Each structure stands twice: as structure tokens, then as C-alpha cells.
Structure 1
Amino acid sequence: MSTAPAGRGTLRCLAAAVLFGGSAPAASVLAGGMPTLVLAGLLYLGAALAVLPVAARQRQPMSALRNGGRSLALAVVFGGAIGPVLLVAGLERVPAATASLLLNLELVATIALAGVVFREHLGRRLLVAAGLVAVAGLLLVWEPGARFDLNGLFIIGACVAWGIDNNVTARLDQLGPEQITLAKGAVAGTANVVLGLAIAGSWQADAPAIVVALLIGALGYGASITLWVKGARDLGAARAQVIFALAPFLGAILSWTVLAEPITAVQLLAIPLAAAGVGLSLRTAHEHPHVHEALEHEHEHRHDDGHHHHTHLEPVPASHTHRHRHEPVEHAHPHVPDLHHRHAH
């Protein structure tokens, strides 16, 4: 049984983390000249613009739009609307240091929802891996003065909303990754810009800064989200999010090396701790007899992975994408919770 999908998914999630992590220090250069939420909105809108040409060419049958549209709407509402609104409410009520710490709960929320609600296989190793990355995240952003009160529930609520978004998106195999990124970027971008302008009141727009923000968003959000969606299809939401949680650490390394920001001993401890957690998460495949029900969907696949036995009238690349049908089958092999292994345990 080929392990190519898991390896491919790992590389995609790492690439997504690198792009997203790099966008933070790049965007920080613009942060002083525009409201934070306006900047966040422009980054998301840059993502939508980046994938628009590809998404427009991806034509789906009406059945796929009906089936996938409901899940997409759920992901967009929670990830692009509810999440940002709760984040804004929390940022207005809690210290920045507290908010930074609480935002690490997105990983915890994604893992918990994946196991409890979406019945994704986790296993002891993955739970330990997620714990290591979460603790490392707390160490990375720790600042004196952080404290928790009931207002922190807004930030926690935002993390739960994004956890729902992550899990639903990872299972959405009726629409192309670029279409998903377009919808999420457009909604999240609009929501953040509107909220930012409403809070900031008067703001003098700077056209060059807006263009730069859109360009950063095209790479750090557009390409990153698309790669994460593809990676999560290969690994499942929980494992994909553990790897993607490296983004802040990669951003910190860039800030230290490129922007010459100071480094603390605690932050240096966080880097190897997070790396150990991600390394452990890569060793979480399991094996047992399982049944695949009949299924029709569209995603990138190969014909040497043990799950795609259909034929083509013309030669196709080793890795290709098209709508295809799976017949029922029962077998056993090592696997992770990819698109073909969402069964409960």
C-alpha cells in the first residue's frame, strides 16, 4: 500500500505553514499604517483574488454543488464570519497577551472536535503531539500580564468556530480547493474589512500599502489555504492542523533573522518542542480491517494507492484530478484519516 498521500499531505501542510508563517512578519511591516482588522481583511481578499482564475475554471455538476455547498456554507460561516466577530469582541475586552495565549486553543479545538464530533481517529501519539505543539505555542507568545476572565470566552469561541471550519473543510471533497479558498477568502476578507473600518472610524487609505497587503495575502493566505485543504484531504483535519501549527514558529524565526527582533530563552525552548510534536504526529498511522462504502467524489489521486482502480480511455499523469466513483470494498492496511478513511472507531 503506497504511503504517497500521507507524505504528500505532510509536505503540503508544511508548505502552507511556511507561507502563512512568513506572511505574519511581512504583514507586520504594514501593521502600523492601517487598522489590524482592515489589514487582516485585505490579506483574505488577496487570497480570494489569487485563486479566482483557477476557481472560475473549475466547473462542477449541480449534484456536487448541492452536496458540497451546504458544507462549504457551514465552513465559511464559522470560519469567515463567526470566528472574526468573536475575535474582535475578545480583542476589545482582554489584554493582547491573554489573547495571544488563548489563540493557541484553535489547535486544541480542532483536535477535540475531530475526535469527539467528527469521529476522526486520533490515537495516543497524536494527542501527545498536539499537547507538545500547544505548550510550545504558549511558550512562544508568553508575556507577563496575561490573565483569564470570562471575557476570554470570546477568544475561545473564535477558536472553536475555526476548529469547526477546519474539520468541515477537511471533509469537503465535492468542490475544488481553490473554490473553497475563494469562498472563505471573500467572506472572511469582507467581514474583517467591515469590522475594521467600523471600529477604526476614520482611516486614510494608502493605495500602495493596500496593494502590498493583497500580494502578501495571495501567497500567505491564498496559496497557504489551498495547500492546507489539499493536505488535510490526505491527512485528516487533526494531523493537518498539528503540522500547520508550526506557522507561528516559522514566523518567529523570520522575525528574528530578517526583522532582527529579540529572542528570549523561553522562545528558543518552544521551537524544538514544537518540532518534536510535529515529528511525533507523522508516526500515527494505524491498521485494522475496514469497509469502504460506495462513494463518488473529486480529488487528486494516483492509481497505485490501493483505492483507485478505475480506468481511463487516454493516458493521464501519475497524479491527476477528476470526478470518480469507488465501489464497496473491505481490506486492511496502514492509513490515516484521509478522504477515504473517515470511519469511526
Structure 2
Amino acid sequence: MFAVISATLFGMGTPFAKMLIEDIEPVVLAGLLYAGAFLGLSAYSGLSRLVRSGHRKVASLDKGDAPWLAGATVSGGIVAPICLMTGLTFATGFTASLLLNLEGLATALIAYIFFRENLGWRLGVAVVCMTVSGLLLSWDPSTGVMSVSGPLLLLMAGIAWGVDNNLTRHISCKDPVQIAQVKGLVAGAASLSIALALGFGVPVDLVLVMALALGAVSYGASLVFFIQALQGMGASRTGAFFSFGPFVGAALSVVLLDEWLG
């Protein structure tokens, strides 16, 4: 259930990000999304302490978790969202949502190859299906040629999040809210620093509020539920369930953006 909730919240983020990307630079949006995740979870943590009568014992992060958390933050908090937001400038929200199925595939493959998680024959079928799907989604029927830039960036985002998911699995027994807060703070600050160094400005209007709110839901809350799913199912199975999310994003792209293939 946690995996499905996480996938749904994350999948919703792609079409809404596509709506925002017209008014904001991709790197800036990537930073604001994770800054929103940090702010949203910080508010949640503060409120939960006020209303909670007893303290639930949850293991906190320690120094031994630093390498796993650092790797997950760089790959999933900085590289992946920048690739996704940049890819959205070349692809529709519908296409981008479906291509993000590659995250689940990358998660399962990395778990199998590097961490020896058990996988069956279904993985081979998934590899073939996702490869064919990626080629089909890269085809631009209006020009009759293969569009590479968008799908390539989305592929990189999926692989980076696959790395993130497998690294996060090693610290999934720790407080998921704390993990998401740290990732949000560091990733948000890093991406915004990159954006400012490149000369991009941060909006101070409604776009800023919308980006932070989207980040709190689709990247903050989603990550907490994802980590909870990792605790019980492992990376490969959670990644498989997470493949539900892109279809949510594709459906919303049709409804909200009136998009289809292309």
C-alpha cells in the first residue's frame, strides 16, 4: 500500500511540473521541488510533535549512514530531478510520465546486479517491453524522425532514481521523515545554488508557491511512503509497484494538459 501511495503522489508531479516549466528554468524548478519537500516535512514534524502524546521510537540517522545518504541525495535529489525537468522541455507530460517507468526497471536491475535481490523471468519481459516502449515514445509522428533529447534525459533520470532507490534501501530502517528532510534540504540547496551560479533567477510570485507545494506532496510525502515500502518489500519489489505511478501521470497529462504521444 505504501508503494502505491508513493507512486501515485510522485506520478502526479510530472504533469504539474510540465505546467510550471513554461515559467521557470528546469534547474530552478528542481531545486524548489526539493526545497518544498524539506519545508513540508519540517512543518509536518513540528505539528506531529505538538499533537503526539507519546513518542514513537524510530531510529535516527548516524554517521554510518552518511555514504548511503550522500549517494542517494546526489543521484536522486540532484541529478535525477534536473534531468527530468530539463527533459520536460523536450517532451510532453504524457510521454515523460510513461518513460519514467524506466525508474522501476532501473531499480530492479540494479538491485539484481549489484545487491543480489531475487528476480524472475518477468524482468526479461519487462526489459523488452520498456525498450520497445521507449523507442515508440521517442518517435515524433509529425516529422517521422526519432526525438532523442527528451527520452535520453528521462532515461538518465530513471537510472539516477534507480541508484537512489537502491542506496536508500540500506538506510530504510531509519526515520523516513528525517531521511526525506535531509535529502530535501541538501538537494534543494545544491540545485538552487547551481541555478544561481548559472545566472537563473528564482521567481517570487505564485509560481514559487506552487513549486514548493508540489515538492512537499510529490517529492516529500512520496519519499516518506517510498522508504516505508522499502522497509517491508526491498528495492526490486517496491520498484515494480512504483511503476504504477507513471500511468497516473500519463492519465493526468491527458486530462489537465490535453496531451497524447508526441
**TM-score bracket, shorter-length normalisation:** 0.7 to 0.9
Q: Which of residues 44, 47, 53 in structure 1 aligns to 2:37? A: 47
SS in structure 2 opposite 1:236?
helix
TM-score (norm 1): 0.59
Q: 1:13, CA displacement in angstroms?
A: 1.4
Length, aligned pairs only: 247
Asked whether the 8 Å contact 1:140–1:249 carries over to 2, the reply is no
Deviation at residue 67 of structure 1 after TM alignment: 2.9
Please give the residue correspondences for 1:1-345 in structure 2 after superposition, counting only pairs within 5 Å.
11-53=1-43, 65-83=62-80, 87=83, 96=90, 105-129=102-126, 131-132=128-129, 135-136=132-133, 139=136, 142-144=139-141, 145-146=145-146, 159-199=158-198, 201-203=199-201, 205-257=203-255, 259=256, 261-263=258-260
Give the % identical residues: 38
Distance between the aligned counterparts of 2:71 and 2:177, measured in 1?
17
Structure with the largest fraction of helix: 2
Change (3 A) 1:164 1:260: closer
* Contact 1:44–1:217 under 8 Å retained in 2: yes
Determine which structure has more spread, i.e. the larger CA radius of gyration.
1
Distance 2:152 2:214 in 1: 30
Q: Is the 8 A contact 1:48 1:185 kept in 2?
A: yes
Shift of residue 81 of structure 1? 3.7
Structure 1 pair 137/179, CA: closer, same or farther in 2 (3 Å)?
farther
Kept in 2, the 8 Å contact 1:18–1:247? The answer is: yes
Cα deviation, 1:171-230, whole Å, max 9, x if unaligned, reads 31442111111122222222332333444x354723322112111111111111111111
Unaligned runs of 5+ in 1: 1-10, 268-345
- Could you say which residue in structure 2 is the equivalent of 1:336? none
Label 1:105 to 1:26 Cα distance change in 2 as closer, same or farther (>3 A).
closer
**Counterpart contact for 1:83–1:157, Cα < 8 Å:** yes
Structure 1 residues 67 and 13 mapped into 2: Cα distance closer, same or farther (>3 Å)?
Answer: same
Distance 1:225 1:216 in 2: 13
Stretch deviating more after TM superposition (185-194 or 217-226): 185-194
The answer on whether the counterparts of 1:68 and 1:174 sit within 8 Å (CA) in structure 2 is no
Instruction: Give the SS at the match of 2:146.
Output: coil
Is the alpha carbon distance of 1:255 and 1:81 closer, same or farther for their aligned partners in structure 2, counting shifts above 3 Å? closer
Tell which has more relative contact order, 1 or 2 (C-alpha 8 A, sep 6+): 2
How has the CA–CA distance of structure 1 residues 130 and 46 changed in structure 2, closer, same or farther, with 3 Å as cutoff?
Answer: farther
Structure holding more strand per residue: 1
After TM superposition, the score normalised by the length of structure 2 is 0.75
Q: Deviations over 1:17-67 (max 9, x none)?
A: 2111222222333222211221121111111111125557688778x5133
